[in-house]
A and B are shown apart, each in its own frame.
Chain A
């Protein structure tokens, strides 16, 4: 398919073609799919936004955040509360959801970015759980364990087909935004921090500040995912903030491939569709998922997409780093 002798123009042309086809398919879906599968597709797109936001920190910055669900949940709760209690405008509520998540990301991130590796991961988990407990217990304000119901989008958006377009638009926007970010100078600094933090510091880069910025962006986009989810299913619940929920983008990303830009999307789609399909005839879904993850970890080290890209094109990975540059840090306990 692709080979190194492709000119740059051919590569760009090929990518543009794939993009146009993908967008075209996406636009046509509501008229082709049954309502049930349209619902699954909508869900997969929202969760892809969630996974992509996670991977900004993981694949590109080298930090594993196990508390993204808190931002996702806060985004959802902000929208739910504003719509049901304050009767806010829908669009402003969405924006508020993103903002609330971003602010939470700023506060939590401020403390987390001083840490590396496993400590970063556990602190994000601790903060995530703290936020979960607060939402769960504060039943006067958040409805507690009942959650909030009756979150309706306005007018024509109550139609699943129309709402799908909103989701699809948000997905495209997020993808574009993240693509620009990881290919910008800022993005290169992030990758440098992931591959070799010490050297990056010697270059005079304030690692904590860059990481905090990325953390806030990631939180904001997770919040966007949650904000889109709440009106779609008409409710939110404290469970959305639990660490178990935080595990979903992690699994999806590793499944799809953290060292590719669209890996998280592939992983999410696979997970969502297989989950929906399997639940139709058994409730022993976790064991299937667990075995699936193990198989991918063992035999497809770059994830599904990473593996596919390596097999089918020698121009290779979008960014080499995860599988390769990391090997230095896994055995070596001094860095990271």
Chain B
């Protein structure tokens, strides 16, 4: 295996990891603060992809259309997140986590049928936006320019979230609430509104990542189920609720998959579950997670 081929697989893994980070960061954020593992996060991602297809189809703007469609899809998903949080999750905070989990599972069912009803069972294709249609040459080997865009976006999101969580007042509140919810409430911070905004942010990120993922392949039913299990893997390995953990987890899962494909493609999927199981057995809270729940 020559070096440039290995490097290419590595870069593919980075691109995949970047996309995973985009999706999983929303899940991790929601779990970190709300302590809710949102099964329906993948469904919001899928809906974001479908919306991007439809909106871009209507916009007919060749240069900026995709980007506008992406932002709009993300905003619509944020609004959906608001609706979900206000009408579904809020009623369940005082109940146990199993009900919350099951409620998000029920949302998967509802959103899937919504997508089926509106867009039919078709698989749709969103073309790559200009200027990322071609390839760049790394070490004499072509690498799709769109992959670089996704990597760049992943880095940008990571920086933004880092700034938000560690450098702003809101971030202080987020970290405090993740640590001790009751204390934060006792200090007069309205916890319900905090939860709402975090969930909305998570939904925004889900919709954004769905739209960004659309030009990669086909937008179709089943996207949600596939991505959510990989997100779980990322979040488990890296540590639930931890931002650096999600980054590391995305990187690991991306690389395991990329090199797994190269050497033993039939087992690439199994590898991820194995790593997930091993992490849960040795260090259940993940690499960067905290020991308490």
Residue among B102, B269, B293 making CB contact with A297, cutoff 8 Å: B102
**Distance, CA A85 to CA B128, complexed state (A):** 50
> Chain B binding site: helix, strand, loop or mixed by DSSP?
helix
Whether A329 touches B96, Cβ cut-off 8 Å, given contacts A119-B285, A284-B117, is yes
Q: Are A129 and B102 interface neighbours, CB within 8 A?
A: no
In the bound complex, residues from chain A placing their C-beta under 8 Å from that of B280 are: 111, 115, 119, 122-123, 126
B176 at the interface (CB under 8 A from A): no
Which chain B positions have C-beta within 8 A of A134? 270
In the complex, whether B59 has a CB less than 8 A from a CB of chain A is no
Assembled-state Cα–Cα distance A263/B120 (Å)? 36
For A333, give its contact among B105, B108, B293 (CB under 8 Å).
B293
Bound form: Cα–Cα A297–B88 in Å: 10
Q: Which residues of A contact B285 (CB under 8 A)?
A: 119
Q: How far is the CA of A88 from the CA of B89 in the complex (A)?
A: 51
Q: How far is the CA of A130 from the CA of B271 in the complex (A)?
A: 9
For the complex, is B92 an interface residue (Cβ under 8 Å from A)? yes
Across-interface contacts of A243 in B (CB, < 8 A): 229
Contacts of A250 in B (CB 8 A): 102, 105
- Evaluate contact between A118 and B97: CB separation under 8 angstroms: yes
User: Hey, which chain A residues are within 8 Å of B293, CB to CB?
Assistant: 116-119, 333-334, 336
- CA distance in complex: A271, B167 (Å): 49
Q: Which of A26-34, A149-157, A286-294, A312-320 contacts B (4 or more CB under 8 A)?
A: A286-294
Q: Are A297 and B277 in contact (CB under 8 A)?
A: no
Cβ-defined contact, B103 with A297, below 8 A? yes
Q: In whole angstroms, what is the CA distance A304 to B293 when docked?
A: 30
- Chain A interface helix/strand/loop/mixed: helix
Report the minimal beta-carbon distance from A231 to chain B, rounded to whole angstroms.
29
Residues in A with CB closer than 8 Å to B108 are: 290
Within 8 A of A (CB), among B206-237: 225, 229, 232-233, 236
- Residue A251 at the chain B interface, CB threshold 8 Å: yes
**Contact yes or no, A284 B270, CB < 8 A:** no
Chain B: number of interface residues, binned into ranges = 35 or more
Partner of B97, one of A58, A117, A129, A293: A117
CA A327 – CA B92 in complex, angstroms? Answer: 11
Complex CA–CA separation, A127 to B108 (angstroms): 22
**Contacting pair B98 A64 (CB below 8 A):** yes
Does B172 interact with chain A (Cβ within 8 Å)? Answer: no
A333 closest partner in B (C-beta) = B293
Residues 302-330 of A contacting B (Cβ, < 8 Å): 326-327, 329-330
Tell me the bound Cα distance from A291 to B112 in angstroms: 12
Question: A297 to B117, alpha carbons, bound, how many Å?
Answer: 25
Q: In the complex, what's the smallest C-beta–C-beta distance from A72 to chain B, in angstroms?
A: 18
Kindly report which residue of chain A lies nearest to residue B236, judged by CB atoms: A122
Q: Is B4 an interface residue (CB 8 A)?
A: no
Contact indicator A251/B102 (Cβ below 8 Å) = yes
Shortest distance between the CB of A138 and any CB in chain B (Å): 9
Which one of A118, A247, A331 has the highest number of Cβ atoms from chain B below 10 Å of its Cβ? A118
Tally of contacts, chain A with chain B, CB under 8 A: 125
Is B1 on the interface with A (CB-CB < 8 A)? no
Chain A residues numbered 112-169 whose CB sits less than 8 Å from any CB in chain B? 114-119, 121-123, 125-127, 129-130, 133-134, 137
**CB-based contact B277/A111 at 8 Å:** yes
Q: Which of B106, B266, B270 has the most CB of A within 10 A?
A: B106
Q: Which residues of B contact A290 (CB under 8 A)?
A: 106-110, 113
Judge whether A293 and B91 touch: CB under 8 Å: no
What residues of chain B lie closer than 8 Å to A331, measured between beta carbons? Answer: 94, 181-182
Please give, as numbers and ranges, the residues of chain A lying within 8 Å of B236 by CB-CB distance. 122, 126
Would you call B175 an interface residue if the criterion is a C-beta within 8 Å of the partner chain's C-beta atoms?
A: no
Tell me whether B140 is interfacial, beta carbon within 8 Å: no
| A298: Cβ under 8 A from any B Cβ | yes
Knowing A64-B101, A126-B276, A129-B229, the reply to whether A334 touches B109 (Cβ < 8 A) is no
Quick one: which of A226-254 are within 8 Å of B by CB?
243-244, 247, 250-251, 254
The answer to whether the Cβ of B189 comes within 8 Å of any Cβ in the partner chain is no
- CB of A293 within 8 A of CB of B95, answer no
Check if B114 is an interface residue, CB within 8 A of chain A. Answer: yes
CB of B19 within 8 Å of the partner chain:
no
Q: Within the assembled complex, what's the spacing in Å between the Cα atoms of A145 and B229?
A: 20
Q: How far is the CA of A247 from the CA of B101 in the complex (A)?
A: 11
Contact: A287 with B109, CB < 8 Å? yes
- Is the C-beta of B171 less than 8 angstroms from some C-beta in chain A? no
CA distance A114 to B285 in the complex (A): 13
Interface centre among B92, B109, B181 (most CB of A within 10 A): B109
Could you list 16 further interchain pairs (A-B, Cβ under 8 angstroms) beyond the known A284-B113, A294-B106?
A: A64-B98, A111-B277, A111-B281, A117-B97, A118-B240, A119-B293, A123-B277, A126-B276, A244-B225, A287-B109, A289-B106, A289-B109, A290-B109, A297-B102, A297-B103, A331-B94
Can you name 5 A-B pairs with beta carbons within 8 Å? Answer: A115-B284, A118-B293, A286-B112, A290-B108, A329-B96
Chain B residues with CB under 8 Å of chain A are 35, 37, 88, 91-92, 94-99, 101-103, 105-110, 112-114, 116-117, 181-182, 225, 229, 232-233, 236, 240, 266-267, 269-270, 273-274, 276-277, 280-281, 284-285, 292-293
Shortest beta-carbon contacts, A-B, top 3: A290-B109, A287-B113, A290-B110
